[in-house]
């Protein structure tokens, strides 16, 4: 196991320089790939190697902090999730997650829905993601004024396959109506049927986390499509995709039912639960692509201050009781 994306987004992007290394002492020691210690406190971020998690349960530290970034219990009833992914979550819930929830002195969660899920816990706190990259500027929107291609992309991975399937009729209808539109998605295998042969549909293979982090800095798109089925599991997703869309300079397009999308009211495109709703919401912007630019500019003003490593670093100083 290597460091999870969760570990970077919620801890290392703001605190990596505080972790002791071979020739550098710091206030935080590395216990595992996703596990850290500060004084008598141990922080477990989502999960680590089984042997380490077993040790934490059988010989618990003086104080255990457990970070949770998914509503793992809700995955059991969520048929929109890929079956293999859901099965892995259920095994993890039985083997470790429920035990760590019961054992942890402090729970750290990543969304308001998770805060409500664990509201009866003796100490639960919320932290938001931070990227090591800044929001993109809007220079790539210059091309739209010249009638060049409008690039839309679905940045989701394995757990977002239902959203990608939802987009197939949306993309098909919009490609037929708007010649400048190009659409890209990520997948090991083709998922769009006959549309995969369309010259303006592009599939990219999944990347390692390290390569994905590097690629976002260079990528520029105009529309970030992120439909979410209205399920408890999806309601608990963090604001991370909002930040990713800002990094690539995209106007976010979100399911109106996702409460996190309300943070971008007025500077994102929100659509209803049906494909027809998405087609209707996107069509005016594809008819006048230059109308997207004010949205991305407004979103940058909103999201820039939210991508704040200093605030996250203060959070961990408080939770870990260390001088960070």
* DSSP per-residue letters across 11-72: IIHHHGGGB-BTTB--SBEEEETTEEEETTEEEEES---HHHHHHHHHS--SEEEEEE-S-T
Q: What is the pLDDT of residue 86?
A: 94
Residue ranges in the chain modelled with pLDDT below 70 = 1, 322-324
Using alpha carbons, list the distances in angstroms from residue 17 to 2, 11, 24, 47, 306.
Answer: 18, 11, 9, 22, 21
Q: What would the CATH number be for the domain defined by 139-306?
A: 3.40.50.2000
The token pair that represents 7 in the structure block = 């570990």
Q: What is the pLDDT of residue 156?
A: 84
Closest CA to 242 of 218, 267, 217: 267
Q: What is the pLDDT of residue 61?
A: 96
Q: What is the pLDDT of residue 65?
A: 98
Residue pair 90/76 in contact (Cβ under 8 Å)? The answer is yes
Q: Which helix (H) or strand (E) holds 240?
A: helix 240-247
Query: Other CB atoms closer than 10 Å to residue 244's CB: what's the count?
Result: 21
Q: What is the pLDDT of residue 227?
A: 97
CA 27/CA 25 separation, integer angstroms: 7
What single DSSP character describes residue 215?
H
Q: In this structure, what is the dihedral angle of CA atoms 115, 118, 124, 128, given to the nearest 10 degrees?
A: -30
Q: What is the pLDDT of residue 246?
A: 97
Q: What is the pLDDT of residue 255?
A: 97
Q: What is the pLDDT of residue 324?
A: 60
265 torsion bin: left (phi>0), alpha (psi -120 to 50), beta (else)? beta
Provide the β-strand partners of residue 270: 254
Closest CA to 282 of 296, 268, 293: 268
Q: What is the pLDDT of residue 131?
A: 97
Parse the chain into domains and list their residue ranges: 5-130+308-320, 139-306
């Amino acid at each position: 196991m290597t460091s999870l994306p969760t570990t970077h987004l919620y801890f290392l992007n703001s605190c990596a320089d505080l972790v002791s290394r071979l020739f550098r002492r710091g206030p935080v020691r590395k216990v595992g790939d996703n596990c850290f210690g500060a004084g008598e406190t141990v922080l477990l971020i989502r999960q680590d190697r089984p042997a380490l998690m077993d040790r934490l349960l059988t010989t618990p530290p003086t104080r255990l902090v457990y970070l949770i970034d998914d509503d793992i219990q809700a995955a059991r009833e969520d048929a929109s999730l890929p079956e293999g992914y859901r099965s892995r979550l259920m095994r993890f819930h039985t083997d470790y997650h429920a035990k760590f929830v019961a054992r942890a002195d402090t729970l750290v969660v990543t969304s308001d829905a998770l805060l409500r899920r664990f509201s009866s816990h003796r100490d639960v706190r919320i932290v938001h993601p931070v990227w090591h990259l800044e929001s993109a500027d809007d220079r790539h929107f210059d091309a739209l004024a010249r009638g060049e291609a409008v690039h839309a992309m679905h940045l989701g991975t394995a757990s977002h396959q239902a959203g990608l399937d939802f987009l197939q009729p949306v993309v098909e209808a919009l490609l037929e109506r708007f010649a400048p539109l190009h659409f890209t998605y990520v997948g090991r295998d083709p998922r769009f049927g006959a549309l995969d042969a369309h010259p303006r549909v592009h599939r990219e293979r999944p990347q390692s986390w390290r390569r994905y982090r590097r690629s976002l800095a260079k990528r520029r798109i105009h529309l970030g499509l992120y439909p979410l089925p209205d399920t408890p599991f999806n309601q608990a997703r963090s604001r991370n995709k909002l930040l990713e869309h800002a990094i690539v300079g995209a106007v976010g397009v979100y399911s109106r039912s996702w409460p996190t999308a309300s943070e971008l009211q007025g500077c994102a495109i929100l659509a209803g639960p049906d494909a027809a709703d998405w087609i209707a919401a996107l069509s005016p912007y594809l008819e006048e692509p230059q109308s997207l630019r004010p949205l991305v500019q407004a979103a940058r003003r909103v999201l820039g201050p939210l991508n704040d490593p200093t605030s996250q670093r203060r959070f961990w100083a408080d939770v870990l009781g260390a001088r960070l």
